[in-house]
């Protein structure tokens, strides 16, 4: 896939396309609502599938028209495999088909990244470096979304951006197999790859460290950033996964001891807030009492919402159905979490359920069924922030060692060549 463009032109296209992605962020939500209203939710999914088919057809046309590419059955099989993967992941997102736009958006970005890098990198490292560029730009994209109202940060979307770019590189590498890419890897290519990799690792680490406490810290010192306190979601939060033999598992920003302490000390204040806001819109409540200023109250309100929502769905469903039992189980277990860990506050609110209601529900469900509450499941619970940075430090050290090894080999090869000459 050679290009006759100058280096600055190729990098300009990559830069301009990246800016286009960033500039369209504020307008995508209104556009999404427009498409939903005019064409239906699935329109995004069908559009992405059609674009994938067109891209695959173009790739087949390209390898047929370029005689410098050694075309074989393997080329077509790899292209078919990549196309199927794109299609599979798109269909897998059908509940939120607009998310599949990531595959189209960052597939195109991967193409521009490859064209730009091809001026300097002529070996297989180009595919890995181009994939990491998709990851880097995709992370910046999500960071901007975190700042923009009604848009959200999501590590999963960062992964989708990377996956889209990486699949495109796999298609070029194994499907198109550009003749300009040679097997011998140059030191310069390794250095570019390592720098790109290190940049991605550090950027993701900074995002994972952008916790509520840190947001409060730097917005106090830099008042012009105070608007970040009003973002709809936090970028990263750490917490604890609790396992309760009676309930199942759930996540929280607090330890068991902290939950009970806060519940005991603040229950009158928090119960008054909950009672006085019964007419407040749920989403508006979470914006006012968010994880920055009231994490305990935020968690409790989300558990109440999930409990009441599934109880309402169960009451609307058919008698004795399996789905109804599942809905009652969810409501029952969520209420157990509220009673056990937010109990003092719950006791003084209008959200308290009578014991008779719980006894009736208990007759309809199987208490032995495992339950895992999705409330606060976005928290990092497997590792701490300190452990994360130890890991990042270790990864950067490994990259430095790899750089040293390849640099040493390159110097030795140069010395031997000079001696022989």
What single-letter DSSP state applies at residue 123? B
- The percent of residues in the chain predicted with pLDDT above 70, rounded, is 96
DSSP string over 329-357: HHHHHHHHHHHHHSHHHHHTSTTPPPHHH
CA distance 322 to 230: 41
pLDDT of residue 2: 54
Longest dimension (CA), the chain: 94
Listed by start position, the domains of the chain span: 7-185, 241-362
pTM of the predicted model as reported, rounded to 2 decimal places: 0.88
Q: Is the pLDDT of residue 68 over 80?
A: no
Q: What is the pLDDT of residues 364-375, one digit of tens each?
A: 888 888 899 999
Cα-based distances in Å from 337 to 44, 206, 266? 38, 33, 18
pLDDT of residue 231: 77
For residues 279-296, average pLDDT: 90
Q: Is the pLDDT of residue 182 over 70?
A: yes
pLDDT of residue 138: 96
């Amino acid at each position: 896939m050679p290009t006759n463009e100058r280096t600055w032109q190729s990098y300009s296209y990559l830069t301009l396309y990246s800016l286009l992605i960033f500039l369209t962020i504020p307008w995508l939500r209104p556009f999404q609502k427009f498409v939903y209203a005019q064409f239906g939710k699935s329109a995004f999914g069908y559009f992405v599938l059609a674009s994938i088919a067109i891209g695959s057809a173009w790739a087949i046309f390209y390898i047929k028209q370029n005689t410098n590419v050694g075309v074989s059955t393997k080329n077509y099989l790899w292209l078919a495999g990549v196309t199927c993967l794109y299609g599979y992941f798109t269909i897998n997102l059908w509940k939120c088909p607009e998310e599949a736009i990531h595959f189209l958006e960052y597939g195109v970005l991967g193409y521009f990244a490859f064209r730009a890098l091809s001026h300097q990198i002529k070996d297989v490292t180009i595919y890995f470096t181009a994939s990491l560029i998709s990851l880097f730009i995709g992370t910046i994209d999500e960071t901007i979304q975190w700042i923009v109202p009604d848009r959200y940060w999501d590590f999963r979307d960062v992964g989708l951006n990377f996956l889209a770019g990486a699949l495109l590189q796999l298609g070029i590498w194994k499907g198109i197999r550009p003749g300009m890419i040679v097997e011998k890897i140059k030191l310069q290519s390794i250095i570019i790859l390592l720098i790109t990799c290190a940049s991605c690792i550090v950027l993701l680490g900074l995002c994972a460290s952008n916790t509520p406490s840190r947001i409060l810290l730097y917005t106090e010192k830099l008042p012009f950033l105070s608007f970040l306190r009003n973002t709809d979601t936090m970028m990263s939060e750490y917490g604890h996964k609790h396992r309760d033999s009676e309930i199942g598992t759930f996540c929280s920003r607090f330890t068991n001891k902290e939950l009970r302490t806060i519940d005991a000390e603040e229950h009158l204040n928090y119960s008054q807030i909950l009672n006085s806001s019964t007419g407040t819109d749920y989403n508006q409540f979470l914006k006012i009492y968010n994880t920055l200023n009231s994490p305990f109250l935020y968690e409790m309100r989300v558990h109440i919402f999930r409990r009441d929502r599934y109880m309402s769905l169960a009451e609307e469903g058919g008698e004795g159905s399996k789905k109804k039992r599942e809905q009652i189980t969810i409501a029952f277990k969520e209420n157990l979490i509220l009673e056990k860990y937010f109990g003092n506050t719950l006791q003084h609110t209008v959200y308290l359920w009578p014991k008779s209601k719980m006894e009736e529900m208990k007759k309809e469900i199987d208490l032995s069924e495992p339950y895992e509450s999705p409330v606060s499941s976005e928290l990092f619970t497997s590792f701490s922030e300190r452990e994360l940075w130890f890991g990042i430090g270790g990864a950067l050290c490994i990259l430095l060692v790899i750089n040293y090894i390849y640099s040493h080999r390159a110097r030795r090869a140069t010395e031997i060549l000079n001696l022989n000459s």
